[in-house]
């Protein structure tokens, strides 16, 4: 495990560092021409994600171009359910397409043997940790059970996740069984990632923000708390970042209930909320990815405001969600420079 040479890990371990460490959610991907080229060599996204050399190369690509403080394992949140037997494909221009969840399908899913089907992931992490400089933190990740369930019930990306929300009212025991299974699987998966060489892990809960209060407690807070508790039981030094998107007003509760070390904030989270969270944890975020697409004044003003609001405390600069494929590379370079120069933040 890395220690003081990594700015990112210093912040996760409780220090305020300025200028803050910086990485970008979905930093490997289609805004990089070299990613598109590499990806075109494999017939589909799942085979790409099963190929150790491709995983390593895709993980390193953004770091070859930009001086980022963290590398995130190239994979997807659906690789774990797929290894457990979930039938799914990735379709061009759609994304993940899953067989809609039924109790019959749930019975065919199993944790047994799943991690053994993912040697390329753990081998890639091990090699990446050896290849990366000590200043760069290596991140692993998983999808939160609720967000995985959203796609499992709908079968494909959806704007409001009506099918999964409806399922939470009409077939809660099916949803509960799936969430319980994925909670247990995530503990083993994240633990294995940390053992292989990841310095920290992030739990992506992209759809946490569409739940009502009761649903949020049951489907987001409880399973996430369980993952954090069990993972720390196996590895007391596990560094965990939670990213429940779209629930600004519930982040304080999320932090207190789950006990994550750092909390990812989407771009709707206010300076007031962020500063309050920063009193007890590291925060990460929260530039609107469209400010990065826009560049210029929109980018400069967004970065400056964020640095002014959060620069004095424990803070990791990031976008408020993944980088968009249409993002110009020059804007990413501008972002790095702005953050490294501290925006117009008076020092």
In the complex, which residues of this chain contact ligand CP3 (CB under 6 A)?
25-30, 39, 45, 72, 74-77, 90, 95-96, 141, 157, 204, 206, 322
Active site residue 31: no
Active site residue 218: no
Residue 20 Cβ vs ligand CP3, minimum distance, rounded to whole Å: 19
Determine which one of 30, 117, 252, 305 is catalytic.
Answer: 30
Nearer to ligand CP3, 19 or 96 (CB): 96
Active site residue 288: no
Residue 40 Cβ vs ligand CP3, minimum distance, rounded to whole Å: 9
Determine which one of 13, 65, 76, 305 is catalytic.
Answer: 76
What token pair was written down for 287?
């530039």
Residue 131 Cβ vs ligand CP3, minimum distance, rounded to whole Å: 17
Q: How far apart are CA 147 and CA 290, in angstroms?
A: 23
The helix or strand, by DSSP H or E, that contains position 271, with its residue range, turns out to be helix 271-278
Whether the CB-CB separation of 262 and 12 falls below 8 Å is answered with yes
Nearer to ligand CP3, 190 or 345 (CB): 190
Active site residue 26: yes
Q: How far apart are CA 347 and CA 342, in angstroms?
A: 8
User: Exposed, middle or buried: residue 51 (CB in 10 Å: 0-12, 13-18, 19+)?
Assistant: middle
Residue 323 Cβ vs ligand CP3, minimum distance, rounded to whole Å: 8
Residue 72 Cβ vs ligand CP3, minimum distance, rounded to whole Å: 4
> DSSP state, 219?
I
Torsion of CA 294, 297, 298, 303, to 10 degrees: 120
Q: How far apart are CA 142 and CA 80, in angstroms?
A: 8
User: What are the phi and psi torsion angles at 96 (to 5°)?
Assistant: -70, 135
Query: How many Cβ atoms sit within 10 Å of the Cβ of residue 212?
Result: 10
Determine which one of 31, 35, 86, 151 is catalytic.
Answer: 151
Determine which one of 39, 65, 156, 252 is catalytic.
Answer: 39
Active site residue 250: no
Nearer to ligand CP3, 197 or 313 (CB): 197
Q: How far apart are CA 158 and CA 144, in angstroms?
A: 17
Closest residue by beta carbon to ligand CP3 = 95
Nearer to ligand CP3, 140 or 343 (CB): 140
Q: Looking at the chain, how many residues does it have?
A: 347
Nearer to ligand CP3, 204 or 254 (CB): 204
The set of catalytic residues is 26, 30, 39, 76, 151
């Amino acid at each position: 495990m890395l220690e003081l040479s990594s700015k990112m890990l210093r912040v996760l371990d409780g220090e305020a560092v300025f200028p803050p460490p910086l990485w970008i959610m979905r930093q490997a991907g289609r805004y990089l021409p070299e990613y598109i080229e590499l990806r075109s060599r494999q017939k589909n996204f799942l085979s790409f994600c099963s190929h150790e050399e491709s995983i390593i190369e895709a993980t390193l690509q953004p770091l070859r171009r930009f001086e980022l403080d963290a590398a995130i394992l190239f994979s997807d949140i659906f690789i774990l359910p797929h290894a457990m037997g979930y039938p799914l494909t990735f379709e061009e221009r759609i994304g993940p397409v899953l067989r809609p969840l039924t109790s019959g399908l749930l019975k065919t899913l199993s944790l047994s043997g799943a991690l053994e089907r993912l040697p390329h992931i753990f081998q890639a992490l091990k090699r990446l940790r050896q290849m990366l400089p000590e200043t760069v933190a290596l991140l692993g990740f998983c999808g939160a059970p609720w967000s995985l369930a959203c796609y499992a019930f709908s079968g494909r990306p959806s704007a409001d996740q009506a099918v999964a929300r409806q399922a939470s009212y009409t077939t809660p025991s099916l949803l509960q069984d799936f969430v319980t299974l994925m909670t247990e699987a995530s503990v083993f998966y994240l633990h294995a990632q940390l053992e292989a060489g990841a310095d920290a892990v992030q739990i992506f809960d992209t759809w946490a923000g569409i739940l009502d209060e009761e649903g949020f407690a049951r489907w987001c807070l409880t399973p996430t708390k369980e993952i954090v508790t069990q993972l720390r039981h196996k590895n007391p030094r596990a560094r965990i970042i939670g990213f429940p998107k779209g629930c600004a007003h519930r982040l304080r509760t999320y932090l207190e209930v789950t006990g994550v070390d750092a909390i990812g904030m989407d771009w709707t989270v206010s300076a007031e909320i962020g500063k309050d969270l920063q009193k007890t944890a590291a925060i990460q975020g929260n530039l609107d990815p469209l400010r990065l697409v826009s560049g210029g004044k929109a980018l400069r003003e967004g970065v400056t405001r964020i640095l002014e609001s959060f620069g004095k405390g424990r803070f990791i600069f990031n976008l408020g969600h993944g980088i968009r494929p249409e993002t110009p590379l020059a804007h990413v370079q501008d972002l790095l420079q702005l953050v490294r120069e501290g925006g117009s933040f008076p020092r």
